[in-house]
Amino acid sequence: MNCRTLRALARSSNYGETFQTINTGNTNYFFDVSFKNSLTGFIAGAYGTILKTTNKGLSWSASSTGTGRWFYSISFGDENTGFAASDYGNVYRTTNGGSNWTGYVTATSEYQYSLKAFDVNNVISFGNKGTIIKTSNAGINWTDYSSGFRNSLFAVDFINENYGWTCGAQGTVAHTINGGSNWTRIQAGAADDFLYQIDFINNSTGYCVGEYGKIYKSTNGDTTGIHCLLLTLQDIMRCNFSMKTLVGSAVILQDC
């Protein structure tokens, strides 16, 4: 299941062979979808939209966020505690499985586009102008780790609590081996490339995707010396290479 800056949702139960359009009852833009188990998932979207399903995406209900902020990313640390990245540096938290959400001010006022909850206390978030912020006390306090970054960061992928990657504007990819406290920047694409998603299968093999169908591959934990493959002129917004699936702006699915 996937969505990105869309007002529609499609569901597949056969690894993308066929899709069923789902009526969520919500007409706002959707930016992220995340499942915390095989049944329960969430959609993050515009104007305070957080939707929840408990039946594999067949039906959805609205959560009470109490705000009109735009939510760009959502991640759960356990069955009950989850976090949602928002505009103007705000991050929201739920402790009751998504029924209610509380907003927290972070160490930045920049939009936050992607976050990862390692558990109920430790969360890392990425956003506009290269912001990287972390909390170790469930969002109450945040520390800025974005020194040296200027380009916006759109996606994050960690294979464990230490090894992680992020990607974003101007061909930016960065890698951490200590949970996000320090980052090594790698130039994956051209200076005008926008990279929207990154997915690592293990600590050496990974991919990042972006504008104009570009896919960059790493076989040594970064993307140095690896050129891209051009599959389509459509932007690729999401990827999951363990499932061999790409999702693009024209809802193009391709086998990799």
- Return the higher-pLDDT residue of 147 and 141: 141
Pseudo-torsion of CA 54, 55, 58, 64, nearest 10°?
-10
**Average pLDDT of the chain?**
83
CATH 3.40.50.2300 fits 1-117, yes or no: no
What contacts 4, CB < 8 A, 6 or more positions away? 30, 31, 32, 196, 237, 238, 247, 249
The type of residue at 94 is T
* pLDDT on residue 138: 97
- As given in the structure block, the two tokens for residue 97 are 């499985």
Say whether 57 sits in a helix, a strand or coil.
Answer: coil
Whether the Cβ atoms of residue 175 and residue 187 lie closer than 8 Å to each other: no
Residue spans of the domains in the chain: they are 1-117, 151-256
Which pairs from 222-227 meet CB under 8 Å and 24+ separation?
222/173, 222/175, 222/184, 222/186, 223/173, 223/186, 223/188, 224/186, 226/188
Q: Encode pLDDT of 29-50 as tens digits.
A: 888 888 888 899 999 999 999 9
Listed ranges 195-204, 215-224, 247-256; the one with the highest mean pLDDT: 195-204
Q: How far apart are CA 246 and CA 256, in angstroms?
A: 8
Average of per-residue pLDDT across 125-140:
97
- As given in the structure block, the two tokens for residue 173 are 């990819």
Q: Encode pLDDT of 211-228 as tens digits.
A: 777 778 888 876 554 555
Q: How far apart are CA 224 and CA 8, in angstroms?
A: 37
Average of per-residue pLDDT across 156-175:
92
Average of per-residue pLDDT across 55-75:
93
What contacts 93, CB < 8 A, 6 or more positions away? 81, 82, 83, 84, 101, 102, 104, 138, 139
Read off the pTM.
0.85
